[in-house]
Amino acid sequence: MNRAKKAVLLGLWLVVATLAYAKVWYLYSKYFPEYPEWVGVCIANLKDLINSEDDPELTHSLYIFILSFINVTVFTWLACLLMRWIRHR
């Protein structure tokens, strides 16, 4: 598979997996870990740069989507490293 196809598939995977992870997190939030308060403050500051009006729903949505993307990216990266390690072993 060439690099362009791999990049498109990786991007598609990150989008779909992030949305699925965010949906499950939203529905079953009590089973997910709580992040430190400073993470929420940083995301609220980021939201203030984008949109100055006070909108707690937007802040909550950004919190879930940003952290879901980070989690999916880390899990994907770890899975790729594990696959590479297994292949070369």
The residue among 17 and 43 whose pLDDT is bigger is 17
Instruction: For residue 63, give the nearest of 31, 29, 86, 89 by alpha carbon.
Output: 29
pTM for the predicted model, two decimal places: 0.84
DSSP string, 2-62: -HHHHHHHHHHHHHHHHHHHHHHHHHTGGGSPPPPHHHHHHHHHHHHHH--S--HHHHHHH
Which residues span the domain enclosing 23? 3-88
Structural domain tally of the chain?
1
Decide if pLDDT at 22 tops 90: yes
